[in-house]
Amino acid sequence: MMVLLFIPVLLLCGQMVAVKGDCNQKLENGLFDDLIQMMLKIRGPVNSGRDHLPKGKDFPAFTAYRASRQSLSVNTVVKFDKVWTNNGNGYNPSSGVFTAPMAGLYHFAAVVMSTDGKTLFVRLFNNNAKITSSYITSTGYKTGTFDVVLTLEKGDKVSIKSGHNSQTIYSDSDNYCTFSGNLIAL
């Protein structure tokens, strides 16, 4: 049985390579495997460029939390003073600031809680640039969140700061307030 095959296979050196002709299945598979091997020799392994990513405890990732209230004045950094994870030691619980240990694409998320019936206005900063804000108002305890992806250079700083005077972040032993970040790509 003759099979006519015309399938675009690879983009090789900027040109589409196609197999066309009369082939049996075993020969087709062999040709395809040969083309894949040629592509890998020319372009390198598929995962090249990922081999230099940090591994394990050196991979930048942190999750910090508050187990108590924090009174804030305007532009005061929220200090998530307890740490569950701090791979790469980029997060400083004493200052509340994450410093990127390497350049890359980072994901950050945070949850903050207001005190009962009080307004809470906080902002996420990259160095001195305000990225986003969370404004919480109403009766009861309310939560606000942040969820952003930022491209950072080595040494860039990310923090959450108060936007108003005389505010309080609420938390207790149930750890209502958290701040997390991690490298997602170089």
pLDDT digits (tens, 9 = 90+) for 47-83: 545 556 788 888 999 999 999 999 999 999 999 999 9
Amino acid at residue number 73: S
Distance CA 134, CA 136 (A): 6
Q: In the block, which residue shows the tokens 């508050």? A: 66
Instruction: Specify the CATH number of the domain 56-185.
Output: 2.60.120.40
Distance CA 110, CA 146 (A): 5
Which residues partner with 120 through β-bridges?
136
- Judged against a pLDDT cut of 80, whether residue 30 lies above it is answered with no
For residues 136-150, give the mean pLDDT: 95
Give this prediction's pTM.
Answer: 0.73
Give how far the C-alpha of residue 174 lies from the chain's centroid of Cα atoms, to the nearest Å: 25
What pLDDT does 25 receive? 64
Domain ranges of the chain: 4-43, 56-185
